[in-house]
Amino acid sequence: MGFPVDITTPAASSAPASGPPPRRWIPIRSLAERHRPRILAHLLALPEADRYLRFGYAASDAQIARYADLIDFAHDEVFGVFNRRLELIAMAHLAGLADSREAEFGVSVLPKARGRGYGARLFDHAVLHARNRGVDMLLIHALTQNTAMLRIARNAGATVQSEGGETLARLRLPPDSLRSHLDAFLESSAAEVDYRLKSQGKRSDEVIDGIGDIKQQMTDNPRRSED
Ligand SMILES: CC(C)(COP(=O)(O)OP(=O)(O)OC[C@H]1O[C@@H](n2cnc3c(N)ncnc32)[C@H](O)[C@@H]1OP(=O)(O)O)[C@@H](O)C(=O)NCCC(=O)NCCS
C-alpha cells in the first residue's frame, strides 16, 4: 500500500538536545507459545473501538481468535506486561522478522492501564529487540485518528506518511551493539524476576482470598461450619 501524501517531519528532530526524560522502568516479558490463551484473553478484552484501532477493522471474536492462533512464536517476537494478578494488561507484537530487515509493530494496552507509559515502553522494547535481530526499519500501520500511537512513533523519530484515513510510520533503526544486547538481557532477566515475585504474591493472595472466603462462609452459616 502506498502513502504518497502529507509527509510529516519527525517530532524528535525538534526535541531539545537533552532529549526526553527517561521513562519509568516497566517489567516486559517475552511471551511464548504457552501464553497464547492469555494473549487471546487480552485481545478479546479490547472494546470494539480499540479493536478497530489495533487491527484497522472492528475485528470479531472469531477474527481475533484466528489472529492469536496464527502468531508465529518461532519467527515473531511478542512482549507483555503483567499486573500483580498476572493479567496481561499490555502486549506488543513484532512481526515479519524472519529473513527480513523490516518488521511491523502492533500494540495494545487495556483501557484501564492506559496513559502510564506502557505503550511507549513496549515500543522502546520492541525497537531494542528488532535491532538485536538485525532489523533496520520498523513499520507501524495506524489509523490517522490514532493520536496516541502516532505520538509514540513521532516521539521516537519516525517519519509519518498519511493517505486518507491510514498512516504509515517508518522508523530507521541503528545497528545492534554490545550495549543493545546487554540492555535486552538485563531487561528480560529483571522482568523474569518480577514475574516470579508476582507469581508468588498471587499464590499468597489466593491463600488470603481463600481464608477470607472460608471466614465469610463461617460468618454466614455458623452452624454448618461447626459440623
Ligand atoms: C495506542 C496505545 C497502545 C497507547 O498506549 P498507552 O500505554 O496509553 O500510551 P502511553 O501511556 O505510553 O502514551 C504514549 C504517548 O501518547 C500520548 N497519549 C496517550 N493517550 C493519548 C490520547 N488518548 N490522545 C493523545 N495522546 C495520547 C501520551 O501522552 C504519550 O505521549 P508523551 O510521551 O509525548 O506524553 C493504546 O491507546 C491502545 O492500546 N490503543 C488501542 C490499540 C491501538 O491503537 N494500537 C495501536 C495500533 S497498532
Task: Estimate the crossing angle of helix 48-55 against helix 61-70, to 10 degrees.
Answer: 40
Q: Considering the domain boundaries, does residue 227 fall inside one?
A: no
CATH number of the domain encompassing residue 93: 3.40.630.30
**pLDDT-flagged residues of the chain (< 50):** 1-17, 225-227
pLDDT digits (tens, 9 = 90+) for 122-166: 999 999 999 999 999 999 999 999 999 999 999 999 999 999 899
Q: Considering the domain boundaries, does residue 21 fall inside one?
A: yes
Ligand 1 neighbourhood includes 203 CB (under 6 angstroms): no
Q: Considering the domain boundaries, does residue 116 fall inside one?
A: yes
Q: Considering the domain boundaries, does residue 38 fall inside one?
A: yes
Farthest-apart Cα atoms in the chain, separation: 77
Question: Which residue range(s) make up the domain with 164?
Answer: 7-192
Look at residue 8 in the predicted model and tell me its pLDDT.
41
Distance 54 CA to ligand 1 centre (A): 12
Look at residue 24 in the predicted model and tell me its pLDDT.
78
Instruction: Give me the number of domains the chain comprises.
Output: 1
Q: Considering the domain boundaries, does residue 1 fall inside one?
A: no
Q: What is the position in ligand 1's atom list of the atom closest to the CA of 46?
A: 41
Distance 108 CA to ligand 1 centre (A): 9
Q: Considering the domain boundaries, does residue 168 fall inside one?
A: yes
Ligand 1 neighbourhood includes 152 CB (under 6 angstroms): yes
Q: Considering the domain boundaries, does residue 214 fall inside one?
A: no
pTM of the model: 0.84
Ligand 1 neighbourhood includes 142 CB (under 6 angstroms): yes
Look at residue 44 in the predicted model and tell me its pLDDT.
98
Ligand 1 neighbourhood includes 167 CB (under 6 angstroms): no
Ligand 1 neighbourhood includes 23 CB (under 6 angstroms): no
Ligand 1 neighbourhood includes 45 CB (under 6 angstroms): no
Look at residue 22 in the predicted model and tell me its pLDDT.
67
Q: Considering the domain boundaries, does residue 217 fall inside one?
A: no
pLDDT digits (tens, 9 = 90+) for 20-38: 666 778 899 999 999 999 9
